[in-house]
Amino acid sequence: MSHRQSAPQWLSEEPLILRLLNSFIDKLERGVRPQLRVSAKTTPELYDFEEDVDYLWALLDSLDKDHHLITIKKSRVKPYQPTYEGAQLLFLPEREEQVRQWLERPAIDPYALVWQHELEKLSVLPPAAQGLAQTIVRIPELGAEKTLRGFLRIDEVLRKPMTLRALSARCFQGDSKVLERYEPLVRQLYPDLASHILPRPLLLAVYLPQSFQKLLFVENQDSFLALAQRRPPTTALIYSAGFRGSALRMREPEQVVFSYLDATAPSCVDFERFWFSDRQDRLVHFWGDLDYAAMGILKAVRQSFTEASAWLPGYDPMLEQLRAGEGHSSTSANKGLQKDPGLTGCQWADDCLLPAIRQTNAFVDQEFVDIPPLRLNG
């Protein structure tokens, strides 16, 4: 590891060097490439021949060869021109911290400056302004001004009940997802209005037979619809759509909206009576991709349906495919960065499915399975 060099003793006595180094830092802060071409306009000291210009140039050359702060690229010169005429001085950005130390110029946060400037422009400071002065929110696609004004607008918008997505869209240029990660901050900034934030109900599609004995959560749409077309006589199918079906509140009344496929009114009543109870007396299975994300869904489903297990008829052919070396890489771009859930609580998933994923470092998608031959009573 390299150690920081102390500033040379001559630095404080050389206005040209100080000015050039400061100009490079200025450019870095503005997001401009830190470079300069030597000319009578940019470095007049080198053209004042009452000065020791050779000494000044030697100092600049030292910044390159001795201190490695800049790179000097010389241009071709005519015999009567100084050797440094038209030379290009390129500052090395990785040396910014070193130069800031020499100049006693600590790093600044341009975004924080804009954030503070926008707060200072407000003629009337709303109650949330103090909290926003202490908490800087960085949403790069919006920038400091639009982000700050969006958060301040919540005070006038959140005067009636609405979902967080509706609030976000009305405060952030129609973007309903900006506030997804900032609900705790919204509640902290506006404690008197937080009760107006409505929970967003889960929307679950359900195939429901006349009388059901089992529940099968299905992760992906194509597989769910293909299973529903077979109209299993005793199995209710729930399209979990990723993690939506695994939320802890999915068995709480008024937190879920069901969309039924060809269900009768009595069967819906029976299904919802079971769903919103604490009963655990029906078989519950989960079937999704053979990957870490799906195993995470299974783990979460078991928090609401404690005996839920991986569905063997669906996962068995996927497991064979994986063990045959026919899975796709766990690092493929469309899978994102998935985390191993550890243990799901389902013995077969923990003893067989997850170890197979770990050993092969590969996944198999649910759509691999041919639906018609599946045993729906498994």
DSSP string, 320-365: HHHHTT-PEETT-GGG-S-------S-HHIIIIIHHHHHHHTEEB-
User: Residue 156: what pLDDT?
Assistant: 92
Global pTM reads 0.60
11-103 CATH: 1.10.10
pLDDT on residue 2: 46
Please give the pLDDT value at position 4. Answer: 63
Grade residue 334 by pLDDT with cuts at 50, 70 and 90: low
Average pLDDT of every residue of the chain: 88
Say which residues have a Cβ less than 8 Å from residue 315's Cβ, sequence separation at least 6: 287, 290, 353
Query: For 103-130, how does the pLDDT look when each residue is reduced to its tens digit (9 = 90+)?
Result: 988 887 778 888 888 888 876 667 777 7
Please give the average per-residue pLDDT across 257-271, as a whole number.
91
Helix (H, G, I), strand (E, B) or coil at 109: coil
The predicted pLDDT at position 1 comes to: 38
Q: Is the pLDDT of residue 329 over 90?
A: no
